[in-house]
Amino acid sequence: MYTVLIVVLVAVHFCPCIAHITSDPSQLRTGKYVIVEHATVNCKRWSTTCKSSSSRSSSSSSRSTSSSSSSSSSTAVVEVVVVVVVVVVVVVVVVVVVVVVVVVLIVVVVVVVVVVVVVVVAAAVAVVVSFLQQQQPWW
């Protein structure tokens, strides 16, 4: 899951036209490289479309520029949101793991201390009982 997420983040960062791919569930697959392949194909189509639209009249060119800039800005917003969500999830997971490790270590230390105390007390009682059994009454 993390590998696919990292691949999507890298693809979103390096190719602004990937946003509609990630929003289309039919194009998302569980493989690691399928998303990148789709991104590459669609980015080539996108750049070809942009090149062909730039050779048209200035009004259509300005319209395509404004639409591509709005698409780019929406992709940037999506990218920022995805990065923030990923960072928050990673921080929460790290904090939970650290808390669990600390709690487990505390429990282990308490158990070891209790076992050591029980063994020392049992040994001391055994020594005292053995010593008392060997003593003759003074009377």
DSSP per position, 35-66: HHHHHHHHHHHHHHHHHHHHTS-HHHHHHHHH
Does some domain include residue 118? no
Domain range for 45 is: 2-101
The three-state secondary structure class of 10 is helix
What pLDDT sits at residue 43? 54
Position 31 in a domain: yes
Q: Is residue 135 part of a domain?
A: no
Predicted pLDDT of residue 40: 52
Domain count, the chain: 1
d(CA 123, CA 68): 81
CA distance 15 to 9: 10
Please write the tens of the pLDDT for every residue from 79-107: 888 889 999 999 999 999 999 999 999 99
pLDDT for 114 equals 98
pLDDT score of 60 more than 50: no
pLDDT tens per residue across span 103-125:
999 999 999 999 999 999 999 99
The pTM for the full model equals: 0.40
Is residue 131 one of the residues assigned to a domain? no
CA distance 85 to 12: 14
The whole-number pLDDT of residue 6 equals 58
Q: CA 98 to CA 104: how far, in whole Å?
A: 10
Per-residue pLDDT of 29-48, as tens digits, reads 444 344 444 555 555 554 44
**Residue 15 is assigned to a structural domain of this protein:** yes
Would residue 67 count as lying in a domain? yes
Indicate whether 134 belongs to any domain. no
